[in-house]
Structure 1
């Protein structure tokens, strides 16, 4: 019997972790992608090739969207689509950090239905399937209960607290940062932080997996204006991301005007 999509993602993520760790401390052949899209390494490309081989062989009828693959309009007519970031947090990977991840989701009719965010250097496997809750290393997890933006510990980049985004005043929150968007979403799902947000256009491969994991942990996850996230768009971006427990999410939206 074929493995479930979630089992397939978990098994493939673990395999990717072994492959990526093999590049740590070695030659990475770092190159800059066109149009300021950031760096890419030999590890990104090797993991992407492995993902394509394993996942597309297992599910040949699924569409494919990956940061490191040439995009094809064929995915737009597929009922289910893999949305993949081989290494989210490539700069952290290059610098020898540990907070990079493999971000993997299956999206059905625009909605993530299975997701894994795996951090090989920290031995963290975040996972979720639609309607079945979220887990870290097989243990259930849920979001925190903070209700006040002024007392919240948030994961966000420095530009996100610029007053121009906050017409009703920047909340007195405490800001932290992690380089991987997928990891930020997962940390809020774990309850270690109260909220995460970014107001820049966000690539689907960075957030599809984490969005499901955070939602299944009990959060509300939307774009920066409160609209539902939809994936497998022709231009694979969303209008930012805001994720927190429902009460705190509403309070942040109110502050954003």
Structure 2
């Protein structure tokens, strides 16, 4: 099984487990989110350690182990990206399984179990063309001031959405055109989505245009831009002008 096949298989399977957990009625609200995190994390980490024992591993739901820093290949996972949306019964949450090689997000799968989809870096298609009025995905609870300001400059419509993975995949799926985030994230929030977006030939960078680098000692990632290549220069220029 290739790395991409493994990522897709595990993301899809974890998604099924999470849907079954939610539908079982075992818990509600925050307790459901906590249960989902624990169950999906255990499944993903055990499966990855069994399938790729020589690789490093970083998961949101496990204590970080600095041993990963000595590995060139590191799996970076978010068992439930958008725990709030998952626990509220919404569909805009995701499962991320990504592989960073020498600090670059190269392989990934993002499962969107609420809509029955898995987007993966080894099976890509054409990103649908953008409409005349651009659409920018932002947090449904705390849209970043920079994103709102750039959207106003571009005359773009704001599209509130839950998880980072759902937002990134909205660009891949042609449901939106720009994902600009400046409110801070961690490596597990974007590694798999960026691997998939790059496979679809989308622009992926920090908001100053510099590369996104993974498997660092500090897993905090302040900002992110994912968009079509033809929009990147203008978006970066508007950010720089703020």
The partner residue of 2:40 within 39, 42, 47 is: 47
CA contact (8 A) 2:76 2:191 kept: yes
Change (3 A) 1:43 1:163: closer
Q: 1:13 aligns with which of 4, 8, 11?
A: 11
Instruction: Return 5+ residue gaps in structure 1 as ranges.
Output: 33-38
Equivalent position of 1:93 in the other structure: 86
| Inter-CA distance 231–99: structure 2 relative to 1 (3 Å threshold) | same
Q: CA deviation at 1:171?
A: 3.0
When normalised by structure 2's length, the TM-score is: 0.89
Task: Measure, in 2, the Cα distance between the counterparts of 1:176 and 1:169.
Answer: 13
Equivalence for 2:229: 246
User: Where in structure 2 are the equivalents of 1:130-145 lying within 5 Å?
Assistant: 134-135=123-124, 140-142=125-127, 144-145=129-130
Structure 2 residue aligned with 1:62: 55
Whichever structure has more helix as a proportion of its residues is: 2
1:113 aligns with 2:97: no
Long gaps (5+) in structure 2: none
Q: 1:164 to 1:128 in 2, by over 3 A?
A: closer
Q: Is the 8 A contact 2:137 2:158 kept in 1?
A: yes
Q: Secondary structure at the match of 2:144?
A: helix
1:169·1:255 contact (CA, 8 Å) conserved in 2?
A: no
Aligned length: 237
2:194 alignment partner, one of 197, 211, 214? 211
Cα distance in structure 2, aligned partners of 1:164 and 1:51 = 35
Give how far 1:239 is off: 2.5
Cα offset for 1:30?
6.0
Cα RMSD for the two superposed structures:
2.3
Match of 2:155 in 1: 172
Report deviation, 1:53.
0.9
Q: Is the 8 A contact 1:185 1:243 kept in 2?
A: yes
**Hey, what does 1:36 align to over in structure 2?**
none
Q: Give the TM-score normalised by structure 1.
A: 0.84
